[in-house]
Amino acid sequence: MTPEGWSLECANKLRFEAKKILGSDQDSTRLRRHIERFASDVASKGHYASWHFTEGEEMRRYLCIAAGLGLSLTCQVLGQDDVFLQPLLDEDKPVKKAVENKHPHMLIVLYRDLNMSLFSTTDETSKPKEVINNVIQCELKKLNRFLEKSGVDERMDTEFQMTKEKNGNGEGIYLQGIAKLGLVSIYHAIVKRGRAPDVDHAVEQLAGYNMLHLAALYGQLNMVEYLLLNKANVMAEGKNGFTAAHLAALRGNRECMRYLHAHMKTQGHSEDARTHAGLTAMQLADGYKAFVSAYSKILLPEKERLAVLSGPYVTKKTKILLQRKGLHLGITSEQSFRNTVKSMMFREHSRDVVDEMENLLKVVCQEDPRFCGEMVIPNPDGTLPSIVPEDSFKVYWQVNTEACARVSPEHSDEEQCSLTLSLGGEFRDCCFRDEFHKAIGKSLSSYTFTSKYMWLTYPCVTKANIGTSVYLVWYDSGNVRLVRVLLIPVLKAAYPKENRNEDVSKLLDRYLKSDFSVHIANEGGDKWSYVLAQMEHEILAQITEEQRSIFVGCKLLTNLLYSCWWFPKQHSRRHGRAWGNYVAGIMALPQSLLSSLFFDELSRTTPEDWSHSKHSRDKASPVILSVIEYLQELRDCDRNGNETVHRPD
């Protein structure tokens, strides 16, 4: 169907539903007029049609009317506005209205499209079992995928019991998954069977979060609604004084924050409740807004999302995304590309995060003396400018253990940079990486951050391939920054002689001949890999400005495809509407692989090969060619009109 045909069909359906609103009361009359007016706008403006209400209470009354009449499209339209639709304790319930008036199809609309709890009313006998069973089966699949990704051996069966498998360690984690994913139907079944803990019980110990906290953090309004209707304490605090409203604000879930504030008011609480650091939920929400604004250059603008996300293939999506973002940034030629890169570069000031992690690692040494060591500090001149504020950091901790000095690593025949090493002494019969992960978790359970404006946030700590990731919130100069820090324990080693070759440039050769120290990191068991962070920074500190510009330019291209790890993918439609940005979900070239390609180019070229005058098709390196081809594709697309491209205003 063409866009014009879709608009006409949608407008006709809205007019049909408006005629079914026969009530003469004020709310029914206003709703009918709003729908008729919106139908006319849809017919004339298509997907550019919009409406806006300022009163959330008015919208919730309209939703009850539409649900009671079975007006599915009207309910979906009401859900487009930036207000919460979940009912408060003393308000009518849309789910109840749909059930009472025998409109079972409305339950799917309310659950799927408006993220509402199907159990906001205690009367379940009249709810269609087929709908409820389908919802439960869908939720069980989501929960078991969560448990699998969390490394838990247990699974939940159709009787809502955890099946104990070998090495099962999932006690309590399934409640985190239920809250994070908003699996109300499963939780309701567990509550009915009397197997749920107290509703205010902390399910995540490091941050002290209960289920309401986690549901609010991830914007799961259906779970928040269910928990509050079942007497959850809206003012319950986790560590550092965070209530559910503060946590909703931390990740930009504005609708959820407002819903919680409305509940707080009904119970006589002020919405200006403060954390231990003296911050209100609104301050945190404003800080998140500033955070998103800093990433707006690489996030997907709202007006472009349909063109990109509806692409049939990843390659098509990638092409459209680069075209649209490139033109929005004013990139139409090689020189404009250079100017854009230069204008976007800035120096990241992340010393506070690094210092905090160094202090944490010193505490780890006290918790587990086997990991006594020191920070690996790369050459600061080798740190390249950033395009956007960094949301992921790597911190290397050199463990000073004598165990590695007595064992020579064996290099793998299959993977050139992999090796086998079995540590003795205190690390005999245990995994170096896993023991470090345990020590981090134990230390964080009693750790007090030195910075007043830095806190742990869920999932707090996770095991990574060569270390442990720690998740932080950092309130920095009015910005809420969500930060992921990968702590990597390493052992000092020598660069492998078998990796040296005659084609290495003088830039690299100087470090290889001087036996420059490198490190090795554990990947689990006796498998290790090389970490060359110090050497890379030493090299980057001495590259030319032209080489630096090209590398940062390539980083910009990968950043344009990058989906920020903290921007929600679940319920991203409503979250995106609040902030005008979306994630594309396109797999970008990892920064580590881009760095490898860049260093490979350095090893086979001279600085003269990178000069601007030599950027021709017959002489340019593959890195430069990729940039030129991208720019050429932009120009050809814009000139030929093969794609619909919107130029920036």
Amino acid at 621: S
Instruction: Please list the residue range(s) of the chain that carry CATH number 1.25.40.20.
Output: 129-294
Any idea which residue has 């991208």 for tokens? 630
Tell me the C-alpha to C-alpha distance, in Å, between residue 171 and each of 52, 141, 155, 162, 641: 45, 18, 11, 9, 57
Per-residue pLDDT, 622: 52
Average pLDDT score over the chain: 82
| Residue-wise pLDDT tens digits, 458-472 | 999 999 999 999 999
pLDDT of 635 > 50? The answer is no
State mean pLDDT over 331-335: 78
State mean pLDDT over 483-508: 73
Maximum distance among all alpha carbons in the chain?
89
Per-residue pLDDT, 580: 77
| Residue-wise pLDDT tens digits, 203-226 | 999 999 999 999 999 999 999 999
Per-residue pLDDT, 617: 46
Helix (H, G, I), strand (E, B) or coil at 209: strand
Amino acid at 158: T
State mean pLDDT over 414-424: 70
Taking alpha carbons only, the member of 644, 641, 638 closest to residue 331 is 638
CA 136 to CA 268: how far, in whole Å?
36
Per-residue pLDDT, 128: 80
Per-residue pLDDT, 408: 55
Instruction: Please list the residue range(s) of the chain that carry CATH number 3.30.460.
Output: 344-564
Joined together, the tokens standing for residue 51 give 């409406």
Structural contact between residues 619 and 609, judged by C-beta atoms closer than 8 angstroms: yes
Any idea which residue has 């110990």 for tokens? 205
In CATH, what is the architecture of 344-564? 2-Layer Sandwich (3.30)
- Length of the chain, in residues: 649
pLDDT band at 165 (very low <50, low <70, confident <90, very high): very low
Task: Tell me the CATH number for domain 129-294.
Answer: 1.25.40.20
Percent of the chain with pLDDT over 70: 83
State mean pLDDT over 84-104: 90
CA 361 to CA 47: how far, in whole Å?
53
pLDDT of 561 > 50? The answer is yes
CA 329 to CA 316: how far, in whole Å?
20
CA 470 to CA 358: how far, in whole Å?
13
Per-residue pLDDT, 278: 94
State mean pLDDT over 170-192: 88
pLDDT band at 516 (very low <50, low <70, confident <90, very high): low
CA 545 to CA 281: how far, in whole Å?
44
Any idea which residue has 């956007």 for tokens? 388
Per-residue pLDDT, 620: 47
State mean pLDDT over 227-247: 94
Any idea which residue has 């448990």 for tokens? 147
| Residue-wise pLDDT tens digits, 337-380 | 888 888 887 776 678 899 999 999 999 999 999 999 999 888 78
Q: Which of 174-183, 321-330, 354-363 has the lowest mean pLDDT?
A: 321-330
Per-residue pLDDT, 609: 74
CA 170 to CA 113: how far, in whole Å?
31
CA 396 to CA 375: how far, in whole Å?
6
Q: Which of 191-205, 229-243, 443-457, 575-589 has the lowest mean pLDDT?
A: 575-589
Joined together, the tokens standing for residue 440 give 């981090």
Per-residue pLDDT, 640: 46
pLDDT band at 507 (very low <50, low <70, confident <90, very high): low
pLDDT of 395 > 70? The answer is yes
CA 136 to CA 158: how far, in whole Å?
9
pLDDT band at 540 (very low <50, low <70, confident <90, very high): confident
pLDDT of 81 > 70? The answer is yes
The rounded radius of gyration (Å) of the Cα atoms in the chain is 28
| Residue-wise pLDDT tens digits, 246-284 | 999 999 999 999 999 999 999 999 999 999 999 999 999
Per-residue pLDDT, 504: 52
pLDDT of 234 > 90? The answer is yes
Helix (H) or strand (E) holding 582: strand 581-582
State mean pLDDT over 393-412: 70
Better-predicted residue by pLDDT, 24 or 413? 24
Taking alpha carbons only, the member of 461, 467, 469, 591 closest to residue 523 is 467
| Residue-wise pLDDT tens digits, 420-457 | 887 877 888 889 999 999 999 999 999 999 999 999 99
Structural contact between residues 401 and 426, judged by C-beta atoms closer than 8 angstroms: yes
pLDDT of 519 > 60? The answer is yes
State mean pLDDT over 638-646: 41
pLDDT of 176 > 50? The answer is yes
Burial class (CB in 10 A: 0-12, 13-18, 19+), 370: buried
pLDDT band at 557 (very low <50, low <70, confident <90, very high): confident
State mean pLDDT over 3-10: 80
pLDDT of 229 > 60? The answer is yes
Q: Which of 47-56, 120-129, 612-621 has the lowest mean pLDDT?
A: 612-621
